[in-house]
Amino acid sequence: MPDTANPGAPAAGQPDADTTPAPTPQDLADRLNKPDPWDAPETARAEIERLRREAAGWRTKLREVEPIVEASKTDTQRLEDRAGSAERERDELRAQVARLAVAAEVGIPAEFVDMLGAGDDEQIRQRARLIAERLTAQTATGAPRVRPVESLTPGAAPAAAETDRDPNAWFRDFLSSARSRP
């Protein structure tokens, strides 16, 4: 007689369809005496092809069963699925807002917000402080030049006077040198 409390359970005294019998000592001995299919490349390739065919068969069976499973869901199950996905989306958005708030508070540019990761507010805040410290250390030591120096040869570094030169000052020097020429 089937279990009325759990309609999917097997009847008392009947074996469960999903359980497999334990291997006998003879089965274990047979497995040990069989050659390993992974020892030789040819047998390994054949085993791989067999497993691929088997996996393809399972994929096609799954594609056939998915619509049946979806159709058998009750309205309550569908609503629960939708509610679960909405809750996950809400949690992701809340985490993103928390990361943005901490980044704005600490002074991290928006391009580094994804580096703050997930976790509670304190973990995000610790990572934000670390990133902010590294960014300030990098700007204190001098960020790499964005514009190339025309007179630079490969492997050379620009002179300090050239790197801090104001374009207006350069233009004034140019005009004064042009005037001084005869």
Tens-of-pLDDT digits for all 182 residues of the chain? 444 444 444 454 444 445 667 777 777 777 677 777 777 888 888 889 999 999 999 999 999 998 888 788 788 888 898 999 999 999 888 888 888 888 888 888 888 888 888 878 888 888 888 888 888 887 766 655 566 666 666 766 656 555 556 778 878 887 887 776 66
Q: How far apart are CA 129 and CA 116, in angstroms?
A: 10
Structural domain count, the chain:
2
Find the domain containing 104 and state its range. 84-139
* Residues 58 and 100 occupy one common structural domain: no
Is 64 a member of any domain?
Answer: yes
The whole model's pTM is what? 0.38
Is 120 a member of any domain?
Answer: yes
Identity of the residue numbered 38 = W
Using alpha carbons, select from 75, 84, 120 the residue that is nearest to residue 102.
Answer: 120
Q: How far apart are CA 54 and CA 47, in angstroms?
A: 10
* Residues 58 and 91 occupy one common structural domain: no
